Structure 1
Amino acid sequence: MTRPVAVGLDGSPASLAAADWGAREALRRDLPLRLVHVWEWQPPPAPPVGTDAPRLWTERLLREAAADLRSRFPDLVITTASLMGAPPEVLCDVAEESELMAIGSAGLGRLAGFFLGSVAMSTVAHTERPVVLVRAGTTAAAERLLATGERPLSAMPYRPVVLGLDLSRPCDGVIRFAFETAALRAAPLRVVHGRNPPAFFAYGVGVTPSVRDDVAVQEAEVLRTALRRWRERYPGIDVIEQAVIGQPVHHLVDAGADAGLVVIGKRTDRLSAGPTRIGHIAHAVMHHCPAPVAVVPHD
């Protein structure tokens, strides 16, 4: 069974940007595109007036979005679905049937970051498939040219893919996703790995520059070793390694300013009975990185 690239549409500019991003990603992966709108039934007022309005609006939204994409990407297979239910639950079900899902996120400004609604946050937290958060108006310039159909997909240059890597836990699925995505784009891959230093580093107690340098060298070697087999598997990718001491959030957000996609992992703890959590690093990147952010679940 071929899994599509799915997009959650709600009519906002951010969700339409996600549809545009999803269309181009489906073309790269030679997959169909599925546009989905979820609406939750509410008891009508008394007397009931216009009870068909939500359904008609949904049908129009999907019809117009699909028509726009078909006009620009005539080779893309596009299907639409209007689904009823609680949006987070339904979108999670859709994501599980998809190769990946794209959802829009709205911008609040450079300082405030980006607004992720409860639907997007819940979908990212609970699904075990990759979810990509797309910002309205932040698509890379080269990809905007592609969206106009002025140049073929194979001729387009792409901005780097950035991978935020935590080597303290297994993360092969996240690494594989980043390498495959960079290979599909023929784009360079920048890997950012950070490690929190011991507490005394933060206060500089007994820490000399040589000690800091030694730790940095050790972390760089750890990163180089972890990526060696992936470099061999994808020899055509230009890989830039960046090992940093301390929280990598600021480095990832800075790298996102010139990236086509930022890839981060989200740990999936199937044995835990507590609520599903999104790590603080992933949470910060999701809210402040200007590039599209792919959140990839892993064990």
Structure 2
Amino acid sequence: MLAPAVAGVDGSVENLAAAEWASREAARRVRPLCLVHAWNRPPRKGTGPCAAVGRRCPARRALRQAEDRVRRTCPGLEAEAEPVEEPAADALLHAAERAGLLVLGSRGLSGFTGFVVGSVALGVVAPATLPVVLVSAGEEASDERLAADDGSPSTRTGYQDVALGLDLGDPCGEVIEFAFEAAQPSGARLHVGHALQEPSQLGLGPGAIGLVNGPEQADEWLGFLDAVIKVWRDRYPWIEVVGTVTEGCARSVPACAASGAGPLVVGRRTTERPAGPRTGPVSHAVVQHVGRPVAVVPHE
């Protein structure tokens, strides 16, 4: 059996949307789904078994709410619910050890916005060793589909593009492969984007692309992009791929995120830092500013 997709739930609208998105993705990838709710409320002095039961009630309620949403979304999906009495970030990281994908609400399980310091999202994404997808509140099945001919939302049309923000200075196979795998089950097009930065004359080295003419420089980088992803294009010939190179900063939101509402895939370097694991500037910017599911893929 394939490793399950794991969704963290706490009853918030963000995490209910995440559970629903995870169920659709698990069904597309023919994986089981595991819903995890964690709580860490120490019992008060002098309390007995009744207090312990009381602490479990919110967990069961949150899981039941998420299970109902999953059943309505994917009635035939194999799903299990798992309440865990443990700090949320620890519980999710432990669940991730046996998972193939981890899905969270983009505002975090503690109600913090985005990736602010101390949020559960930061505590999970930064040290995670598997891809983590963050889903915002209000995400619905029709959002990942193309609009109908009359412009109205639909759940019967083709899928929106999967987007990949690619750093051509440090292309990583794990990140590229995840993007192709994300596009494969739905038959979506893959949009690969790179932000072209103004080269420094001091930084140019052997083989560096340093053409003065902007359009020609973009064409050179686009050819480099095609060469980088050629192995995966040959491996997934049925996936339509479009590449774009635009001016911008590597820390800015990738241009390929501007169109469509399918998942946006970005990489996160796992190199140890003195201050501990971090999400990285690109991942941080993307999660703060992109209104679509964001997959953060760790790599060395």
Aligned partners of 1:253 and 1:288 also within 8 Å: no
Rounded Cα–Cα distance in structure 2 between residues aligned with 1:251 and 1:240 = 18
SS of the equivalent of 1:185 reads coil
Aligned to 2:218: 216
Kindly provide the CA deviation profile for residues 129-176 of structure 1, in whole angstroms up to 9, marking residues without a partner as x.
00000001133625589xxxxxxx9x6511100000012224101100
Measure how far apart 1:236 and its partner are: 1.2
Measure how far apart 1:190 and its partner are: 0.5
Aligned partners of 1:253 and 1:285 also within 8 Å: no
Aligned partners of 1:257 and 1:289 also within 8 Å: no
SS of the equivalent of 2:234 reads helix
Aligned to 2:297: 296
Task: Give yes or no for the alignment of 1:284 onto 2:285.
Answer: yes
**Residues 1:140 and 1:257: Cα distance change in structure 2 (over 3 Å):** farther
Rounded Cα–Cα distance in structure 1 between residues aligned with 2:185 and 2:141 = 16
Aligned to 1:245: 247
SS of the equivalent of 1:184 reads coil
Aligned to 1:133: 134
Aligned to 2:189: 188
**Residues 1:221 and 1:75: Cα distance change in structure 2 (over 3 Å):** same
Aligned partners of 1:189 and 1:240 also within 8 Å: yes
Any unmatched runs of 5+ in structure 2? Answer: 147-154, 203-210
**Residues 1:181 and 1:120: Cα distance change in structure 2 (over 3 Å):** same
**Residues 1:257 and 1:40: Cα distance change in structure 2 (over 3 Å):** farther
Rounded Cα–Cα distance in structure 1 between residues aligned with 2:83 and 2:224 = 48
SS of the equivalent of 2:195 reads strand
SS of the equivalent of 1:80 reads strand
**Residues 1:140 and 1:243: Cα distance change in structure 2 (over 3 Å):** farther
The farther-off stretch of 258-267 and 44-53 is 44-53
Measure how far apart 1:274 and its partner are: 4.7
Match of 2:104, as an amino acid? I
Aligned to 2:230: 228
Measure how far apart 1:256 and its partner are: 4.4
Task: Give yes or no for the alignment of 1:197 onto 2:217.
Answer: no
Rounded Cα–Cα distance in structure 2 between residues aligned with 1:245 and 1:254 = 12
Aligned to 2:20: 20
Aligned to 1:124: 125
Task: Give yes or no for the alignment of 1:173 onto 2:174.
Answer: yes
Rounded Cα–Cα distance in structure 2 between residues aligned with 1:248 and 1:239 = 21
Rounded Cα–Cα distance in structure 2 between residues aligned with 1:125 and 1:251 = 19
Measure how far apart 1:254 and its partner are: 6.7
Measure how far apart 1:200 and its partner are: 7.5
SS of the equivalent of 1:115 reads coil
Task: Give yes or no for the alignment of 1:52 onto 2:53.
Answer: yes
Measure how far apart 1:70 and its partner are: 2.0
> Pairwise CA RMSD of aligned residues?
2.9
Aligned to 1:115: 114
Rounded Cα–Cα distance in structure 2 between residues aligned with 1:143 and 1:166 = 25
Rounded Cα–Cα distance in structure 2 between residues aligned with 1:291 and 1:85 = 30
Aligned partners of 1:163 and 1:178 also within 8 Å: yes
Kindly provide the CA deviation profile for residues 222-244 of structure 1, in whole angstroms up to 9, marking residues without a partner as x.
11110122111111111110112
TM-score scaled to structure 1, two decimals?
0.84
Rounded Cα–Cα distance in structure 2 between residues aligned with 1:289 and 1:72 = 24
Any unmatched runs of 5+ in structure 1? Answer: 108-113, 146-152, 202-208
Measure how far apart 1:273 and its partner are: 5.6
Measure how far apart 1:283 and its partner are: 0.7
TM-score scaled to structure 2, two decimals?
0.83
Matched residue count: 280
Rounded Cα–Cα distance in structure 1 between residues aligned with 2:199 and 2:178 = 31
Aligned to 1:65: 66
Match of 2:246, as an amino acid? V
Rounded Cα–Cα distance in structure 1 between residues aligned with 2:69 and 2:141 = 20
Rounded Cα–Cα distance in structure 1 between residues aligned with 2:264 and 2:5 = 18
**Residues 1:213 and 1:19: Cα distance change in structure 2 (over 3 Å):** same
Measure how far apart 1:196 and its partner are: 3.0
Aligned partners of 2:162 and 2:182 also within 8 Å: yes
